[in-house]
């Protein structure tokens, strides 16, 4: 029966708020109009419009990584969900909690196979840990609470709730309340003791960490473990979130290319995984290994992904009787401002010199990111959000979500020009929401990483036609005009001095800004 005049859509939004979901990134269509109308009756829910579903899902990823809790997305039927799949893939690889609300045709309408009818479950399943089709307005609030519980389940999951239009518009019962979280499991004491014993046997050891083990007190504890045992501290190439910068515990990032990984790990006799998977190369290459560890390397697990790796690291430090301080902290080493011709190194130097403390970097710089990886770890303390799943076009949307989750922190989006073209619509949302995001476009007018990969995979016969598939000239994208057309203040830098001046100005103001760095 109808309670206080609410319909299914209102019960869903009120349930989301009851469950701690405060932001909804959306790109709605006809099937979602009752949800859109219901937003006015629940002012506690912040709604953010994206012009493309890949922006919506990427923003939810950035929000979840920084806020540590899920945002909702609102997507229009199967094609709308499909447009957002690439960044849901990235979010799944990052273990980011997200609740997707996907509209569908009214149940009575599905029999007619209208043009937008599709297999929504089929689209959702590869990028979702939990999928459910709600069938009743009386149950949709309960379904929503279960979706949030699934998203919050350790280490963070993607839940997709499909809501037919008539479920949204028909009378509903009261909203549901939050269900208990499926929290990370405590690592048993005997496991901690076994790893402590393993790290004390004198063999060359390394800890490969991910998730909460790379943050805060857990990272400090890892530094103390390294001081006691001599173990190396490592993180994945694309660990979803890392705390880097001067004064923090030093981390070694697993390299990208396969032969670099094998060289990086060649002396490791014992590799302890903390919420991480064994290191493998991103792609297969003829004549090169995909498996990164050396033959005979012993693997063990301090924590599985569903377990509390952060607490396990603290427990391990206690079990080992570690010193009160890590053996080494990263020294703050700010480079001088660059001069002369602008290149990716100069851009990285200026960014490291000028960015304030505790910024958030959304990194989709692709081939231009090598200099950043070398320089930023010694810059001021910051949070690094990389491209976790390899589906480019994540950086701009990720920055949106990070800026909404942390409005008092400067967000810097580092983006290759080819990758940024996938989700350039994100700039419009930055302008609409007046987000404090500075975007740096590395404009090399090329899919430069693919030029490298073309050689590495041994593809033969590549000539003019192959080169044209990886070239972004003729016509050139003008990112200054693109940004201005989408409402973002923009400028172009052709020298190191110009870039430094423009970036310094961006750091000293609030609001969205884009700099096209002509490297």
DSSP conformation letters of 302-352: EE-TTB-HHHHHHHHHHHHT--SS-S-BPPP-PPPPP-SB--HHHHHHHHH
Q: Per residue in 302-325, pLDDT tens?
A: 999 999 999 999 999 999 999 988
Q: Which fold has domain 189-320?
A: Rossmann fold (3.40.50)
Secondary structure element (H or E) that encloses residue 104, with its range: strand 98-104
Query: In whole angstroms, what is the distance from residue 499 CA to residue 491 CA?
Result: 9
d(CA 513, CA 354): 15
From the options 3.40.50.970, 3.30.365.10, 3.30.460.10, 3.60.20.10, give the CATH code of 344-518.
3.40.50.970
CB-based contact 360:405 (threshold 8 Å):
no
Its pTM stands at 0.95
DSSP 417-448: HHHHTTSTTHHHHHHHHT--EEEEEEE-SB-H
CA dihedral angle for residue 196, residue 202, residue 203, residue 204, rounded to 10 degrees: 90
Q: Count Cβ atoms within 10 A of the Cβ of residue 189 and give its class: 0-12 exposed, 13-18 middle, 19 or more buried.
A: exposed
CA 513 to chain CA centroid, Å, is 21
Helix, strand or coil, per DSSP, at residue 410: coil
**Hey, where are the domains in the chain?**
8-169, 189-320, 344-518
How many Å apart are CA 449 and CA 433, to the nearest integer?
A: 32
The Cα–Cα gap between 316 and 226 comes to: 11
Whole-number Å distance between alpha carbons of 464 and 471? 10
Question: 397-420 in b/e burial notation, b at 16+ Cβ within 10 A?
Answer: bbbbbbbbbbeebbbbbbbbbbbb
Q: Hey, how many other C-beta atoms are within 10 angstroms of the C-beta on 202? A: 9
The reply to whether omega before 155 is within 30° of 0 (cis) is yes
* Measured CA angle at 58 (ends 56, 39), to 5 deg: 30
Question: Using an 8 Å Cβ cutoff, are 137 and 11 in contact?
Answer: yes
Q: Residue 265: CB partners within 8 Å, gap ≥ 6?
A: 206, 254, 271, 279, 292, 293, 294, 297
Q: Of 262, 266, 249, nearest to 204 (Cα)? A: 266
Q: Give residue-wise pLDDT tens across range 5-47.
A: 899 999 999 999 999 999 999 999 999 999 999 999 999 999 9
**Cα 219–chain centre separation:** 20
The 3-class SS string of 156-222 reads CCEEEEEEEHHHHHCECCCCCCCCCCCCCECCCHHHHHHHHHHCCCCCCEEEEECHHHHCHHHHHHH
Place of tokens 């010199």: 353
**Averaged confidence pLDDT in the chain:** 95
Cβ burial of 122 (10 Å; 0-12, 13-18, 19+) is exposed
Tell the burial category of 247 from Cβ atoms under 10 Å away from its Cβ (0-12, 13-18, 19+): exposed
Answer whether 253's CB lies under 8 Å from 235's CB. yes
Q: CA 233 to CA 223: how far, in whole Å?
A: 8
Q: How high is the pLDDT of residue 449?
A: 81
Residues of the chain with pLDDT under 70: 1-4
Give the separation between CA 192 and CA 303, rounded to whole angstroms: 9
Q: Which of 400, 411, 403, 418 is nearest to 364 (CA)?
A: 418
The residues pairing with 228 across neighbouring beta strands, listed in sequence order, are none
Q: Rounded distance, CA 455 to CA 360, Å?
A: 34
C-beta of residue 168 within 8 angstroms of C-beta of residue 35: yes
pLDDT score at 474: 83
* SS3 category, 469: coil
C-alpha–C-alpha distance, residues 18 and 415, integer Å: 36
Angle between helices 53-67 and 426-433 (to 10 degrees): 60
Select the CATH number that applies to the domain covering 8-169 from these four: 3.30.70.260, 3.40.50.1820, 3.40.50.970, 3.40.50.300: 3.40.50.970
């Amino acid at each position: 029966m109808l309670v206080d005049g609410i319909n299914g859509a209102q019960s869903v939004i009120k349930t989301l708020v009851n469950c701690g979901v405060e932001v909804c990134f959306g790109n709605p269509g006809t099937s979602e109009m009752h949800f859109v109308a219901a937003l006015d009756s629940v002012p506690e829910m912040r709604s953010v419009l994206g012009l493309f579903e890949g922006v919506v899902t990427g923003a939810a990823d950035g929000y979840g990584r920084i806020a540590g809790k899920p945002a909702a997305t609102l997507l229009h039927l199967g094609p709308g969900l499909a447009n957002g799949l690439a960044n849901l893939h990235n979010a799944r690889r990052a273990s980011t909690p997200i609740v997707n609300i996907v509209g569908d045709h009214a149940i009575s309408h599905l029999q007619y196979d209208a043009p937008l009818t599709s297999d929504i479950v089929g689209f959702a399943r590869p990028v979702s840990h939990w999928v459910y089709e709600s069938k009743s307005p009386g149950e949709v609030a309960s379904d929503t609470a279960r979706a949030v519980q699934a998203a919050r389940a350790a280490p963070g999951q993607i839940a997709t709730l499909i809501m037919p239009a008539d479920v949204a518009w028909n009378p509903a019962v009261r909203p549901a309340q939050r269900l208990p979280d499926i929290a990370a499991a405590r690592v048993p004491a005997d496991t901690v003791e076994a790893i402590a014993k393993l790290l004390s046997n004198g063999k060359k050891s390394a800890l490969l960490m991910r998730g909460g083990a790379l943050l805060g007190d857990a990272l400090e504890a890892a530094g103390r473990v390294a001081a006691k045992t001599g173990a190396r501290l490592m993180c994945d190439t694309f660990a979803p979130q890392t705390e880097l910068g001067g004064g923090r515990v030093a981390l070694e990032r697993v390299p990208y290319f396969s032969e670099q990984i094998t060289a990086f790990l060649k002396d490791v006799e014992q590799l302890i995984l903390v919420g991480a998977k064994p290191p493998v190369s991103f792609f297969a290459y003829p004549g090169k290994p995909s498996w990164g560890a050396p033959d005979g390397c012993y693997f063990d697990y301090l924590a599985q992904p569903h377990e509390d790796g952060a607490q396990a690291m603290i427990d391990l430090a206690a079990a080992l009787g570690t010193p009160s301080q890590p053996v080494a902290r990263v020294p703050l080493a700010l480079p001088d401002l660059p001069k002369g011709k602008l290149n990716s190194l100069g851009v990285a130097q200026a960014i490291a010199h000028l960015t304030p403390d505790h910024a958030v970097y959304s990194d989709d710089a692709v081939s231009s990111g090598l200099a950043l990886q070398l320089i930023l770890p010694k810059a001021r303390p910051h949070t690094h959000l990389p491209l976790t799943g390899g589906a480019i076009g994540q950086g701009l949307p990720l920055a949106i979500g990070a800026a909404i989750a942390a409005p008092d922190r400067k967000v810097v989006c580092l983006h290759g020009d080819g990758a940024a073209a996938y989700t350039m619509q994100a700039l419009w949302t930055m302008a609409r929401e007046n987000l404090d995001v500075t975007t740096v476009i590395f404009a090399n007018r090329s899919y430069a990483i693919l030029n490298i990969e073309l050689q590495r995979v041994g593809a033969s016969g590549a000539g003019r036609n192959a080169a044209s598939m990886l070239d972004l000239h003729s016509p050139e994208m003008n990112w200054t005009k693109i940004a201005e057309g989408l409402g973002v203040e923009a400028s172009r830098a052709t020298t190191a001095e110009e870039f430094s001046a423009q970036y310094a100005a961006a750091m000293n103001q609030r609001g969205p800004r884009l700099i096209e760095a002509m490297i």
